Amino acid sequence: MWSLEDGIASGLKPDQGDDARWKRDAWDVFFGLPSARLMFLRPGDTAVLRAGAFHRVFTLKTKVCVNGGV
């Protein structure tokens, strides 16, 4: 995940790329962001992201994502 401000400044978008993998240049930009964070979740884990955090999800197995607002 990364901050809205960093994403706007770098031009990195969650929907960048047309398949399940990012292109190499998108990863280079991501790892250059001060706010870049990589999370690894195991089955049963829950991730809660703050408002304004961009994110991209990669999975090796079928997943269920629940998206909601308060």
Pairing of strands 2-3, 53-54: antiparallel
pLDDT tens for residues 28-45?
888 899 999 888 888 888
Helix/strand number for the chain, H first, E second:
2, 2
The tens place of each residue's pLDDT in the chain, 70 residues long, gives 888 888 888 887 666 554 445 666 778 888 899 999 888 888 888 888 888 788 777 777 766 666 655 4
